[in-house]
Chains A and B, each alone.
Chain A
Amino acid sequence: MKSLRPMLATPLFLCAACASAPPSKQLVDARRAYEDARTSSAADYRPDAVLTAKQALVRAERAHDDDPGSFREVSLAYVAEREAQKAQAWGEYEVGVQAIEQADDDYKRKQAQMLADTQNDKQAAEARLETQSTELNQERAARQQAEQRAAAAISSLEQIARVKEEARGTVITLEGAVLFVTGKSELAPLAQQKLTEVAKALNDIDPSKRIVVEGHTDSRGSDEDNLALSQRRATTVRDYLVSQGVAEDRITAVGRGETQPLASNDTTEGRANNRRVEIVIGSGNADATNADATRETTD
């Protein structure tokens, strides 16, 4: 159909120019209608219809040449005008048909895209859920393991020391007699073995918790001497625990002297109970109690 197009552009009105009588109004209208059709979408979509219109116009022109102003001229021009208008409408109809096809294609493509997007979203959501659930399970398993390790550590500590839960945390009390020679701050021979086990247990319980080593004495001797001795002993224990792998920044030493007796200082047994080192595993974590512990050390 495209090959028809050049034919449509050939000059039509060579004869019209030499005709002496003026064309009818109907023929003028037909010529204009043909020009409109020739330059409309019909030229691309329906060149065959434009060609038919051209042939109709040629017939009208001939009728004009043969018998100007005749009923035949007017009628054939009337037909030619409608053929041209029909060609133009046909072209527009084809434009519409193509627009429908284009819209249908676009609709299908968008629908497919939306479906694919939905499926991708769903898969992504499932993958996220899967990851979250895996992480949750890992966390739970890790927590269980830590709890088991802490429980085991506590029970092994109970073999060598008194372990008590208090408001300030877990308190491990070691008898002074076991750790130190009277009046001294160096560790007794057996003490190292015990403290090695304590250090291991401390790391197993919860490495994030703060630890305070408190030295306590009985009431014999001056307050100042007792305070100094308790401070030295606490520091010795702290240093040893650090040497056994307890992180230095989570453990502090503080001397309480004779200020916090557990029992009466009037009896030998009571005084023995009061001479002690307490290792307090805080309930808060290392960072939260850091300022507090620093102050205690500098007191």
Chain B
Amino acid sequence: MKPITIGAVLFVAGCGGASEATVEAQTAANATAETTAAIAAAETAAPKDHPQASLHLKLARDQLHQAKRLMQEDENDKAQLLLMRATADAELALMLARESDAKEKAERARAQVDSLSSHP
């Protein structure tokens, strides 16, 4: 009975270890996909001549690249943190782009109102 019990325990432990690694890899893959999507969204929205947005986009891309390398080396924890940073940079770039776009549009709309009142 005893060897069987030990074997069963080992088997279960082995199974547990294997599934944890799978979950970690899956999580990393999800995070990578999330970061990639955030970067793509920011690239679509951010104009090239917006220096701050461009800077954060570059940081996002660099950190995504670094995270992928770390994942190949099985440094998944560190990779995870780098992906979070990359996503935060991409989202910030997107919001900065939206902010300056809204401000520009507001300025144009106000100028239109002013042009209307200067031609009574």
Contact = CB atoms under 8 A, between A and B. Distances in A.
Interface in A236-276: none
Given A82-B92, A107-B109, A75 B116 contact: no
- Chain A interface helix/strand/loop/mixed: helix
Interface residues on A, range: 20 to 34
B91 to A, nearest CB: 6
A104 B85 contact: no
Interface in B83-120: 84-85, 88-89, 91-92, 95-96, 98-99, 101-103, 105-106, 109-110, 112-113, 116-117, 120
A76 B82 CA distance: 10
Interface string A62-79: 000000000110011011
Nearest to A46: B95
B29 interface: no
- Chain B interface helix/strand/loop/mixed: helix
Contacts of B89: 82
A82 B102 contact: no
Nearest to A81: B88
B62 to A, nearest CB: 13
B81 interface: yes
A232 interface: no
A90 B95 contact: yes
A61 interface: no
B78 interface: yes
Nearest to A104: B109
Contact of A86 (B82, B95, B101): B95
Interface in A155-178: none
A116 B103 CA distance: 31
Interface of B: 56, 78, 81-82, 84-85, 88-89, 91-92, 95-96, 98-99, 101-103, 105-106, 109-110, 112-113, 116-117, 120
